[in-house]
Amino acid sequence: MSHFSSFNYRNNQLYVEDVPLAAIAAEFGTPCYIYSSAAIRSAYQAFEHAFGQRNHLICYAVKANSNLAVLNLLARLGSGFDIVSGGELQRVLKAGGDPQKTVFSGVGKTREEMRAALAANILCFNVESEMELITLNEIAGQMKKIAPTSLRVNPDVDANTHPYISTGLKENKFGIPAAEAERIYALAQQLPNIRIAGLDCHIGSQLTEIEPFIEAAHKMLDLLKRLQTMHITIEHLDLGGGLGVRYDQETPPTITEYIKALCTATEDYPQQQLLIEPGRSMVGNAGILLTQVCYLKHSPYRNFAIVDAAMNDLLRPTLYQAYHAIQSTTKRDAEEKLYQIVGPVCETGDFLGHDRRLALAKDDLLAIMSAGAYGMSMSSNYNTRPRAAEIMVEGDAVHLVRARETVEDLYALEKIPS
């Protein structure tokens, strides 16, 4: 399976780069998340290379995977960052990220978050409502600072993706309606502590075709022309993220096809720096969740493989009915059966995969593929389950980049009243 380039079988054993997954399980236990640094590096370089000579900035969407080691690897490659909370800002700074390459998105920025981002001198606030704009001006005024600002405009483009991750329709909570954009830009121009820096949109996540991106880009360029007639200077055009990855049979555009299409659509505007905010397409197929089979349960109706990972570790199948390929770490000649891959959490919704044809024995290890994005970052402690360890592999070097939580960690902040 070519889209898992860092995960391959050698002598019937599944490897990540030059390390057998079984060796990682033996050393660090399961469940654990495992990331390939080569896969992340190669995705970043594919974006960089595709832009060619075009003035651009890649702002990695921290929410996809916010581990400090992932952020540090990207910062060292020269990446910028797209954050959606004050916590993500602190992670970026801790990981050595450049605040001058950081944009702050999100509909509900608090005053404290605005203060922290202004103090850090971030590149731009992606403002999502008129009230937010007024609040940002007020906070910047109190701090005697000027807030660089871009309005996130909602282009009303159907991204043809899961309704929970479609963000650019007029009924979504995100962004400023296109019809309101000029009025609010005119307001921004009057506010003393706001400096208009850019124009921003983001239409959704896991998009598998180029057309919605291009439709949104053209709508943004039409708006850009109108803003220029109002003597509003736009320094950068932020076209968001959302490029899909292959989980199963999807055929999303390649990184190169996607970037080339954006560059072509904006070729008449070379003076505007082009920003993009990729998350999943940078890390999705660079990570797996490794889990062990606890029990096999056969009934006349269904076969269950009960594993030690659960919906608290990887929520996407339960939340989005998302498909993740599941591969055994050992290829064997035994008879395959149709299995439901389920976890120990007390919910019928706790599953990682339905109807998977596998040859399994107790204690087998399974790799849940394409788990590098929105895996660990969405995980929880439901059922008082400590969160998994995270491992970064570089060639034959294995780094523990987040230790497994203990149960004591989970109740450390709790108190029984006297």
Q: What does the DSSP assignment read for 341-360?
A: EE-SSSSTT-EEEEEEEE--
Sign of the dihedral through C-alpha 319, 6, 365, 392: negative
Residue type for 383, please? N
What pLDDT is stored for residue 1 in this prediction?
38
In a domain, 78, yes or no: no
Residues 116 and 250 in one domain: yes
Q: What is d(CA 27, CA 44) in angstroms, rounded to the nearest whole number?
A: 30
* Same domain? 116 vs 240: yes
The type of residue at 211 is: E
Nearest one of 332, 326, 333, 329 to 357, comparing CA atoms: 326
Backbone angles phi, psi at 45, to 5 degrees: -70, -30
Same domain? 305 vs 394: yes
Angle between helices 68-77 and 86-94 (to 10 degrees): 60
Give bridge partners of residue 356 from the DSSP assignment. Answer: 339
Q: What is the CATH number of the domain that holds 333?
A: 2.40.37.10
Q: Is residue 208 part of a domain?
A: yes
Residue pair 375/316 in contact (Cβ under 8 Å)? The answer is yes
pLDDT confidence of residue 71: 98
Query: Of the candidates 372, 311, 356, which has an alpha carbon nearest to the alpha carbon of residue 74?
Result: 372
Residues 272 and 296 reside in one and the same domain: no
Q: How much helix, strand and coil, in percent to the nearest 5, is found in the chain?
A: 35, 25, 40
The DSSP code sequence of 204-226 is: BSSB--SHHHHHHHHHHHHHHHH
Binding site: residue ranges?
A: 242, 277-280, 316, 320, 347, 374
Q: Do residues 156 and 176 make contact, with C-beta atoms less than 8 angstroms apart?
A: no
* Beta carbons within 8 Å of 311's beta carbon, 6+ residues apart: 317, 318, 343, 345, 347, 349, 350, 351, 352, 382
- Residue 235, classified by CB atoms within 10 Å of its CB into exposed (0-12), middle (13-18) or buried (19+), is middle
Instruction: Decide: 126 and 103 in contact? Cβ < 8 Å.
Output: yes
Q: Are residues 116 and 239 in the same domain?
A: yes
pLDDT for position 280? 97
Q: Do 297 and 249 reside in the same domain of the chain?
A: no
What is the maximum alpha-carbon separation in the chain? 72
Can you give the residue range of the structural domain that contains 11? 7-36+284-411
Q: Measured at the alpha carbon of residue 49, what is the angle toward residues 47 and 50, in degrees to the nearest 5?
A: 65
Asked, for residue 51, whether it belongs to a domain, the answer is: no
Query: Does a structural domain hold residue 142?
Result: yes
For the chain, what is the domain count? 2
Residue 45 in any domain: the answer is no
Pairing verdict, β 56-61 and 124-127: unpaired
End residue of a domain, out of 254, 278, 302: 278
Q: What is the Cα–Cα distance from 200 to 273, expressed in whole angstroms?
A: 12
Binding residues for substrate: 280, 316, 320, 347, 374
Q: Is residue 49 part of a domain?
A: no
Q: What are the average pLDDT values for consecutive 10-residue runs of the chain, which has 418 residues?
A: 79 97 98 98 98 98 98 98 98 98 97 98 97 98 98 85 64 85 98 98 91 94 97 97 93 96 96 97 98 95 96 96 97 93 94 97 97 98 98 98 98 97
368 and 312 part of one domain: yes
The verdict on whether omega for the bond into residue 278 sits within 30 degrees of 0, i.e. cis, is no
Together in a domain, 223 and 364: no
Sequence-distant (6+) residues with CB within 8 A of 70 are 35, 40, 283, 392, 401
**Known binding site for pyridoxal 5'-phosphate: residues?**
242, 277-280, 374
Which of 278, 294, 323 is the C-terminal boundary of a domain? 278
Residue 149 sits in a domain whose CATH number is 3.20.20.10
Evaluate whether residue 77 is within a structural domain. Answer: no
Cα–Cα distance measured from residue 302 to residue 137, given in angstroms and rounded to the nearest whole number: 60
Looking at the structure, tell me whether residues 238 and 357 fall in a common domain: no
Question: Token match 């307001």: residue?
Answer: 187
The pLDDT value recorded for residue 3 is 65
| Same-domain check for residues 189 and 272 | yes
CB 102 within 8 A of CB 81: yes
Residues 316 and 356 placed together within one structural domain of the fold: yes
pLDDT digits (tens, 9 = 90+) for 191-238: 999 999 999 999 988 999 999 999 999 999 999 999 999 999 999 999
How are beta strands 176-177 and 147-154 bridged, if at all? parallel
* 86 within domain boundaries: no
164/113 same-domain check: yes
Chain position carrying tokens 């329709």 = 169
Q: Which residues are catalytic?
A: 346
Which among 217, 250, 278 is the end of a domain?
A: 278
The token pair at 146 is 């000027």
